[in-house]
């Protein structure tokens, strides 16, 4: 006996824009991830500082984690500034 | 050492090791004048055993304190009949710790600490100068 013809599957949505939309989403995703990472290291630094202030843990550890959090913040801010500056340059292009 | 700023962690481990060394030296100096009965062991000078940190198995993992070992507990026998711990001959056992040697060790430990903090500060300056690239 001939089997029944299966119903036609709906087509997957067509990709739109190609690299441009993927690039813009990627930048915001990268910034979000970086800021989450910075938040995490600042939380670590806060914990270490609280422990050092309470007499547990070492002062050097607290200061080193604070330095790391500070440097990570600077790296993130520098990279975001560069990305936004590139975007602004494109937007200011004259035709 | 993993992480974006591994050098800071490496220098931090060096600072911790130097701190452990300073702690043992302070303990040795504090116990320098201990006395005890001659039939008991004296206080042995303590020293930390510093080994490379092999937690991740990579080069440049910093240093760690593997153990704190105790030195010779024989000490020296001194004549001190006024001590309540003196034996029938009036002898007590005191630790064989030389203050001069401990102070020289302390200078070394202090220099060790300062070298690690200096390396840490230089690494931080280097990281910050990398951020100025392209500006």
ipTM: 0.70
Q: Does A71 touch chain B (CB under 8 A)?
A: yes
- Give the pLDDT confidence score for residue B119 in this predicted structure: 93
Q: How many CA atoms lie within 13 A of B20 on its CB side?
A: 18
- The answer to whether residue B22 neighbours chain A at the CB level (below 8 Å) is no
* pLDDT tens column, B84-95: 888 889 899 999
The pLDDT value recorded for residue B124 is 92
Q: Which helix (H) or strand (E) segment is A60 a member of?
A: helix A59-91
Residue A20 is predicted with a pLDDT of: 44
Q: Which of A58, A63, A64, A81 to mutate to test the interface with B (most CBs of B within 10 A)?
A: A64
Ramachandran area for residue B74 (φ above 0: left; ψ -120 to 50: alpha; else beta):
alpha
Q: Which two tokens stand for residue B85?
A: 């711990």
Tokens of A5: 């013809």
Q: Scanning the structure block, which residue is given the tokens 């000490």?
A: B75
Euclidean distance between CA atoms A61 and A56, whole angstroms = 11
Q: What is the pLDDT of residue A26?
A: 83
Q: What average pLDDT does this structure show over A5-32? A: 68
- Determine, yes or no, domain membership for B85: yes
Closest CB to B5 among A68, A78, A82: A68
pLDDT digits (tens, 9 = 90+) for B57-100: 666 788 999 999 998 888 889 998 898 888 889 899 999 999 99
Q: Interhelix angle for A59-91 vs B99-131, to 10°?
A: 10
pLDDT on residue A4:
81
User: For position B2, what pLDDT does the model report?
Assistant: 57
Cβ–Cβ contact B6 with A under 8 A:
no
Evaluate whether residue B59 is within a structural domain. Answer: yes
CA proximity to B31, closest of B120, B93, B116: B93
**Higher-pLDDT residue of B92, B3:** B92
Number of domains in chain B: 1
Q: DSSP label at B47?
A: E
Mutate to test the interface with B, among A61, A68, A82 (most CBs of B within 10 A): A68
Confidence of residue B114 (pLDDT cuts 50, 70, 90): very high
The nearest CA of chain B is from the CA of A64 a distance in Å of 7
Nearest to A67 among B124, B131, B134 (CB): B124
Structural domain that includes position B37: 6-131
Contact B42, B95 (CB under 8 A): yes
Instruction: Please give the share of chain B, as a percent, with pLDDT higher than 70.
Output: 93
- B1, part of any domain: no
CA distance B36 to B42: 7
The reply to whether residue B8 touches residue A67, judged by beta carbons under 8 angstroms, is: yes
């Amino acid at each position: 006996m001939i089997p029944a013809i299966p119903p036609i599957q709906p087509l997957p949505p067509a990709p739109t824009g190609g690299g441009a939309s993927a690039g813009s989403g990627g930048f915001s995703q990268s910034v979000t991830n970086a800021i989450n990472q910075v938040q995490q290291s600042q939380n670590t630094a806060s914990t270490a500082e609280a422990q050092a202030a309470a007499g547990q843990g070492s002062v050097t550890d607290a200061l080193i984690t604070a330095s790391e959090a500070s440097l990570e913040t600077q790296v993130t801010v520098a990279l975001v500034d560069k990305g936004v500056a590139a975007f602004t340059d494109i937007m200011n292009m004259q035709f | 050492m993993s992480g974006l700023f591994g050098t800071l962690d490496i220098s931090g481990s060096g600072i911790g090791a130097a701190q452990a060394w300073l702690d043992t030296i302070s303990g040795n100096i504090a116990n320098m004048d201990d006395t005890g009965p001659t039939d008991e062991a004296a206080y042995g000078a303590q020293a930390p055993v510093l080994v490379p940190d092999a937690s991740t198995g990579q080069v440049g993992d910093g240093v760690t304190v593997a153990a704190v070992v105790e030195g010779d507990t024989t000490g020296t026998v001194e004549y001190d009949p006024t001590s309540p711990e003196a034996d029938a001959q009036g002898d007590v056992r005191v630790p064989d710790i030389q203050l001069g040697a401990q102070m020289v060790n302390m200078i070394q430990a202090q220099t060790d600490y300062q070298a690690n903090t200096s390396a840490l500060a230089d690494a931080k300056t280097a990281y910050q100068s990398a951020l100025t690239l392209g500006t």
